[in-house]
Amino acid sequence: MTWQPAVREPDSLATLVHDSVRAHLFPGELDPRGFRPVPGESWRQAVLPDGTVVRADLAASPATQRRHGPRACAGIRVTGVLTVDRTGYRVAADVCIDLATRAVLSCDARIEAVSP
């Protein structure tokens, strides 16, 4: 598989989903959105610069070990709920992580609105 440039700018909701998935998988690493655990709760929360509150309640489970070109990778399935202010979304993502560098090589996320 060869690198290809993006064909369009990612939308802000997709970027939030990817950031929340990464924050869930690597909780001790630098998180650009600032997702932090909420004491006594199962979700993580971030407040965006415009004041929007984002909450993510995600769960990860191993999917498969595979290869991405010459690299050994772990497949991880992430599911859960993301809320942006008062709008809820069901999230399902298949993530491919390089085992040597912990780099997220791909994150195929599906988002479905579940409440207004």
Backbone angles phi, psi at 106, to 5 degrees: -155, 150
Residue 4: C-alpha distances to residues 19, 22, 95, 105, 108 (Å): 21, 22, 18, 13, 16
2-16 tens-digit pLDDT: 667 767 666 777 888
Any idea which residue has 């690493």 for tokens?
Answer: 29
Q: What pLDDT sits at residue 116? A: 60
CB 77 within 8 A of CB 65: no
Rounded to two decimals, the pTM is: 0.79
